[in-house]
Amino acid sequence: MSLDCASKHYPFQTPPGQGEAIAINEQVKWLRSPLPLSLNHINCYLLRDEGGWCVVDTGMNGDAARQQWLDVIETQLDGEPITRVIVTHHHPDHVGLAGWLCDTHQVSLYTTEAEYLYTCAMNAASGDGSRNAPYWEVTRYFNQTGISETDRNALLDNKDYNHLVSSVPAAYHRIQDGDRIQIGSQQWEAITTRGHAPEHLCLYCRELDILISGDQVLPEITSNVSVSPTVPEDNPLDDWLQAHDKMATRVPDSVLVLPAHQLPFTGLHGRLQEVIEHHRERLDALLALMDQPNSSQRKSAQQLTREMFDKSLEPFQNFLAVGEVVAHLHYLLAEGRTKRELIGQVYYYGRS
C-alpha cells in the first residue's frame, strides 16, 4: 500500500548504486543491498566507530548481496575495518548476512534478545534438518483462516529461512530499550517496538538528529503487520499502533529518518500519524465488508482478504495479506466490534 504525505521531504533523491556508499554526513554512510523480490532493495547503514565502521542491517543472503558488501568494504571505507554488526530485527533481509559478516571480520553481533532468539528459532525450524510434519496448531491456524489446502501446503512446505540467512552467530550482545550505545563519538539511543517484529530495534542519535528506523517507519509503503501462525491468537496491530505513539513521544519531528526501504526523509510525526490513519481506514473497510446488505452471511479471513485486495495473490503474498487481515480482525475482536464463529474448521467473522 503506497501512501503519500505533503509534509515529507527527501534530501537524498538518488540512492547509492552498486559498490557505492553515500555519505549522509561524516558519521553515517548509506548503501543498498539487492533483494530478489518485488521490493528489490534494503538500505544498510555504516556508522563511524572507534577504529572503523559499525554495520546496521546486512541484507539477505545471496551472491549479489555478498558481492555488494565486498565492493563497499574494499572501495568505500578507506581501508578501515568493520567493527561490529547491529541488526534491527530477525527478517532475512535485515539479518541475512549477519553471520557471514561477523564470522568473516571476527566482530560481534548486537541486537535485542527477542530478535536474536527468533532468528535462532526460525533457523532451527527451517531447512532439510527440520521436522517434516507441520505442528498441529499451525495447521489449525491456516485452516481457521479459510486459506485453500493448496496454499496451506505450499506454505507449510516452505522452509527457506535458513537459505536466506547465512548463519546465526552463537553469541550476541543484547540491546535493550533505552540503552545508550556509544558508537565512535556518538551516542545512539535504542528504541524497541512490537507489531512488525517482537522486539524491533530503532536507533536515535540526538546529536546528529538522525533516526535509523528499520522497518518501523518507512516513508511510503507500510510494513507488514501480521498474525503469525506461531502465535495464532496474537493482536499485533494493537502493539503496532502503540509503537507509533511511542516513536512520536521518544523521537522529535526534526529528525532525518533513515529507513530500511525507500529514501531517507524528514516529516516523522506526520508519517506516524498517516500510518495510524491508514490502519483505522482498513479497520473501517473491513467492517464495511461485513455490513453489505446482500452479505449478511459471515465471511472467513480469506474471503475478506479477497474482497479487500480485489485480486488473487500467489501463496506467499496471500499469506501476508491474510495475516494482515487477521491482525485487523483480532484488533476488532479485542475492541468488541467484531465477533467470530467457528464453523467446521474455519472462523467466520461478522459485526457485533
The residues binding Zn ion (CB under 5 A) are 91, 215
**Is 38 exposed, middle or buried, given 0-12, 13-18 or 19+ CB atoms closer than 10 A?**
exposed
- Cα radius of gyration (the chain): 21
Which lies closer to Zn ion via its Cβ, residue 92 or residue 99? 92
Which lies closer to Zn ion via its Cβ, residue 144 or residue 226? 226
Other CB atoms within 10 Å distance of the CB of residue 34? 17
| Rounded least distance, CB 89 to Zn ion, Å | 6
Q: Which three cell numbers stand for residue 40?
A: 528489490
CA–CA dist 44, 342 (Å, integer): 44
Coil, helix or strand at residue 172:
coil
Strand duo 82-86 + 108-111: pairing? parallel
CA–CA dist 226, 325 (Å, integer): 8
Which lies closer to Zn ion via its Cβ, residue 221 or residue 241? 221
Partners of residue 325 on adjacent β-strands: none
Which lies closer to Zn ion via its Cβ, residue 91 or residue 298? 91
| Rounded least distance, CB 92 to Zn ion, Å | 9
Which lies closer to Zn ion via its Cβ, residue 193 or residue 305? 193
Helix extents (H) in 149-267: 149-157, 161-164, 236-250
| Rounded least distance, CB 200 to Zn ion, Å | 8
CB 10 within 8 A of CB 264: yes
Partners of residue 182 on adjacent β-strands: 187
CA–CA dist 178, 182 (Å, integer): 13
| Rounded least distance, CB 307 to Zn ion, Å | 26
| Rounded least distance, CB 75 to Zn ion, Å | 29
Half-sphere exposure of 214 (CA within 13 A, CB side): 33
Our measurement of the distance from residue 225's CA atom to the centroid of its chain's CA atoms, rounded to an integer in Å, reads 8
Q: Which string of DSSP letters, residue by residue, matches 178-225?
A: T-EEEETTEEEEEEEE-SSSTTEEEEEETTTTEEEEETT--SSB----
| Rounded least distance, CB 196 to Zn ion, Å | 6
Which lies closer to Zn ion via its Cβ, residue 73 or residue 257? 257
| Rounded least distance, CB 185 to Zn ion, Å | 30
| Rounded least distance, CB 215 to Zn ion, Å | 4
Which lies closer to Zn ion via its Cβ, residue 61 or residue 302? 61
Which lies closer to Zn ion via its Cβ, residue 147 or residue 217? 217
Residue type, 221: I
Position with the least CB separation from Zn ion: 91
